[in-house]
């Protein structure tokens, strides 16, 4: 049974996690807007999803000021510092059914533009004064009443033909166009290649620089402490002619550990959100059980005190609610692990005495439970947790709670609830 103070600590941390996640919906980054009069106003822009950014612009002149929401008919453009660049569709040389902000992805002899609706992606390319919306959707013929669509009557995507038309003067790119998908990455790559062939001295501008991708490692140390509960199977604890089987009934006990953190950043999509976390730690937990059994004329008492030292080896997936300008980043993590039991120390004590108090004489039996395990037992478990990473200069600090449950050392289950604190180098 978890003590009240640990329930309070867990509740407070959960509240902090939820509050931080609510705050994560706002991510104001340096940038600027361009007014209808052509003036540039510097400030901070809310970095949101592509759908939200296309509908309106959320702007603050200073971080502590109230936000202002601009629609495409109120400003010409807005841009994040060294990041995404958005143009009002009113300034865009293409007739659209609604006013939106279109992302200007890149600029050159052939420029790439993009915006996202709720159910559809729109890609545009321009060459000179000509703007073309790329047709990248298959269309199928058929009758829904009589068996659905007919795959054999599909009208193929047309965007490859459109790109060949725009790049007619560079036929060496046509094989690349045939292999390309209608994505920002492939379109920018084709536009860059076209410019390098057509005008190699002219710079091709890509407004949002791709984030470096790959696996990066971060190291840290941590300490943790909390409550551990060890279930117990029934044991024959009555050393006599009787055969009485009882549970040891261990009480929740304090457990603590020290360890190292290795976060492997899985930055394959350009976001610092996904990690594999290794957290090996040396853990110590001590359990106490005391049972009494009255069988007239004697009272029997059984006391067990046992301490385990284990090497914990968890491997967890960690997701961070990353924001570039935030100082508090909530996270959650989960994954499997194993405990390698290095040694145990303890003592078993059995006593018996008269129930009526007629005699003070007791029978005592004691046995040592110390062992270093010739074959180290390995027990598997599942672990989960949540918390926050706090940016504090060069050494980010983290605080969170973890809960694990799995096989225990006595053919039973063990569960740990701990408060974990650490920092990275």
At residue 1 the predicted structure's pLDDT band, cuts being 50, 70 and 90, is: very low
pLDDT over threshold 50, residue 24: no
**How would residue 352 be classed by pLDDT, with cut points 50, 70 and 90?**
confident
- Residue range 326-342: mean pLDDT, rounded: 91
pLDDT at position 43 is 93
Residue 393 has pLDDT above 90, yes or no: no
Distance between CA 177 and CA 181 in Å, rounded? Answer: 8
Residue pair 177/168 in contact (Cβ under 8 Å)? The answer is: no
Beta-carbon contacts of 38 under 8 Å, excluding residues fewer than 6 positions away, are 76
C-alpha distances out from residue 220 to 158, 223, 331, 333, Å: 52, 11, 16, 16
Q: What percent of the chain has pLDDT over 90?
A: 46
Residue 412 reports pLDDT greater than 90: no
How far is the C-alpha of 229 from the C-alpha of 246, rounded, in Å? Answer: 18
**Higher confidence at residue 90 or residue 216?**
90
Mean pLDDT of 360-368: 75
Question: How crowded is residue 90: how many other Cβ atoms within 10 Å of its Cβ?
Answer: 15
Which one is predicted more confidently, 19 or 79?
A: 79
Q: Is residue 141 pLDDT above 50, yes or no?
A: no
The DSSP bridge pattern shows strands 397-407 and 378-390 to be: antiparallel
Residue 147: pLDDT band (50, 70, 90) is very low
Among candidates 226, 232, 368, which has minimal Cα distance to 290?
Answer: 232
Token pair, residue 68, equals 């202002």
DSSP 8-state symbol, 321: -
Say if residue 123's pLDDT is above 60.
yes
- Predicted structure pTM score: 0.59
Local confidence band at 187 (pLDDT 50, 70, 90 cut-offs): very high
Task: Say what the pLDDT of residue 22 is.
Answer: 47
Assess whether pLDDT exceeds 80 at residue 330: yes
């Amino acid at each position: 049974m978890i003590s009240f103070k640990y329930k309070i600590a867990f509740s407070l941390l959960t509240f902090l996690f939820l509050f931080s996640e609510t705050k994560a919906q706002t991510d104001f980054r340096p940038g600027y807007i361009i007014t209808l009069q052509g003036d540039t106003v510097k400030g901070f822009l809310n970095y949101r999803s592509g759908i939200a950014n296309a509908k309106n612009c959320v702007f603050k002149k200073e971080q502590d000021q109230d936000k202002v929401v601009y629609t495409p008919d109120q400003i010409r453009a807005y841009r994040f510092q060294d990041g995404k660049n958005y143009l009002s569709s009113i300034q865009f040389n293409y007739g659209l059914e609604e006013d939106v902000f279109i992302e200007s992805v890149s600029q050159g002899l052939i420029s790439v533009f993009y915006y996202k609706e709720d159910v559809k992606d729109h890609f545009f390319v321009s060459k000179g004064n000509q703007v073309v919306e790329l047709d990248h959707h298959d269309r199928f013929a058929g009758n829904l009443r009589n068996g659905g669509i007919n795959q054999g009557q599909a009208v193929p995507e047309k965007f490859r033909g459109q790109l060949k038309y725009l790049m007619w003067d560079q036929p060496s790119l046509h094989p690349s166009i045939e292999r390309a998908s209608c994505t920002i990455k492939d379109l920018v790559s084709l536009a860059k290649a076209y410019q390098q062939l057509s005008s190699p001295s002219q710079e091709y501008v890509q407004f949002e620089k791709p984030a470096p991708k790959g696996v990066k490692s971060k190291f840290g140390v941590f300490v943790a402490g909390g409550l551990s509960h060890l279930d117990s199977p029934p044991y024959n604890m009555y050393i006599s002619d009787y055969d009485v089987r009882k549970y040891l009934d261990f009480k929740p006990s304090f457990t603590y550990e020290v360890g190292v953190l290795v976060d492997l950043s899985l930055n394959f999509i350009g976001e610092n959100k996904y990690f594999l976390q290794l957290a090996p730690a040396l853990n110590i937990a001590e359990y106490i059980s005391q049972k009494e059994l009255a069988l007239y004329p004697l009272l029997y008492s059984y006391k067990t005190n046992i301490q385990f030292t284990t090497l914990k080896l968890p491997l967890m997936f960690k997701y961070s609610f990353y924001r570039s300008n935030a100082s508090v980043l909530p996270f959650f993590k989960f994954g499997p692990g194993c405990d390698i039991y290095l040694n145990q120390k303890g003592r078993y004590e059995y006593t018996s005495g008269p129930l009526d108090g007629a005699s003070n004489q007791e029978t005592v039996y004691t046995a040592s439970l110390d062992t270093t395990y010739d074959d180290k037992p390995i027990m598997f478990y599942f672990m989960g947790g949540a918390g926050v990473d706090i940016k504090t200069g060069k050494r980010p600090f983290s605080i969170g709670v973890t809960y694990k449950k799995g096989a225990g050392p006595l053919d039973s289950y063990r569960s740990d609830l701990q408060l974990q604190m650490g920092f990275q180098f």
